[in-house]
Amino acid sequence: MPLKIAVLLSGSGTTLQNLIDRAGAGELDAQFVCVISSRADAFGLERARTHQIPAIPIVRKDYDTLEAFNAAIWDTVRSHGAELVALAGFMSLLHIPDDYENRVVNVHPALIPAFCGKGMYGHHVHEAVIEYGVKLSGATVHFANNIYDAGPIILQDTVPVLEDDTPDTLAERVQAKERELYPKAIRLFAEGRLRVEGRRVRILDPQ
Ligand code: GAR
């Protein structure tokens, strides 16, 4: 049975598109049960509609409190029967309920715990990496918890930071790495091969 995935995003949805493409290519046994966007105009919703995936905007300002906004998200996730929630450029803080603990994954465009946390998303990350002068950056896939970018790490890999890099050229290299790592991590989850032990994620051998 394919893994039922809800994707949460706020932007253009290239991360979603990669997951859809990988599933289409037979590299990921997944069914995308819904795409939820925190912005009504996110192009990611359009991509979902193109692939006949229910595309649902849930916008923070339509709710009086953060709790009500979160409740609307989780009600939707549950009602679509999602077994895994994949964050794909989702830019609001989520409170993860107990029944989805270790069932929410995120991809971050740097090597956590460096260049992460509140305000560190998209291009801000690559600008900070270049500014600091580190020689390596990369991508991280991790379980999300209730603190920005702080949950147990599933997979990480590096890319070089080149002398003449701009945030755009570095982003391109990091995103290529994300496109490999994210489906790989989700595949490991689908195969039941991820065991969370405190902060560490043990990757089990295939059965
Ligand atoms: C991705 O590069 C992802 O790593 C980043 O947002 C981008 C989403 O692009 N996520 C974060 O920075 C999370 N802190 P997309 O909207 O085109 O999928």
- pLDDT band per the 50, 70, 90 thresholds, residue 87: very high
Gap from CA of 207 to ligand 1 centroid (Å) = 32
The domain segmentation of the chain, as residue ranges, is 1-100, 107-142+153-207
Q: Does CATH number 3.40.50.170 belong to domain 1-100?
A: yes
pTM over 0.95: yes
Gap from CA of 157 to ligand 1 centroid (Å) = 16
How far is 53 from 82, CA to CA, in rounded Å?
13
How far is 23 from 27, CA to CA, in rounded Å?
6
Gap from CA of 26 to ligand 1 centroid (Å) = 24
Assess whether 51 carries a catalytic annotation. Answer: no
Residue 109 near ligand 1, beta carbon < 6 Å: yes
Residue 12 near ligand 1, beta carbon < 6 Å: yes
Task: Give pLDDT tens digits for 121-177.
Answer: 989 999 999 999 999 999 999 999 999 899 999 999 999 999 999 999 999 999 999
User: Are 1-100 and 107-142+153-207 equal in CATH topology?
Assistant: yes
How far is 115 from 128, CA to CA, in rounded Å?
7
Task: Give pLDDT tens digits for 5-16.
Answer: 999 999 999 999
Looking at the domain 107-142+153-207, which fold is it? Rossmann fold (3.40.50)
